[in-house]
Amino acid sequence: MPCLQTGRNGSVLLSLHVQPRAAKNELAGIHDDTLKLRLTTPPVDGKANKAVIAFLARQLKAPKSSIRLRSGLKNRRKQVWISGLDEETIRRRLGLKGSLE
CATH of the domain at 30: 3.30.1200.10
Q: What is the pLDDT of residues 19-78, one digit of tens each?
A: 999 999 999 999 889 999 999 999 999 999 999 999 999 999 999 999 999 999 999 999
**What is the model's pLDDT at position 62?**
97
How many angstroms separate the CA atoms of 77 and 94, rounded? Answer: 18
How many angstroms separate the CA atoms of 57 and 54, rounded? Answer: 5
**What is the model's pLDDT at position 2?**
78
How many CB atoms are closer than 10 A to CB 81? 16
Q: What is the pLDDT of residues 68-93, one digit of tens each?
A: 999 999 999 999 999 999 999 999 99
**What is the model's pLDDT at position 20?**
95
CA atoms within 13 A on the CB side of 54: 11
How many domains, the chain? 1
Domain span including residue 58: 4-96
| Residue 101 included in any domain | no
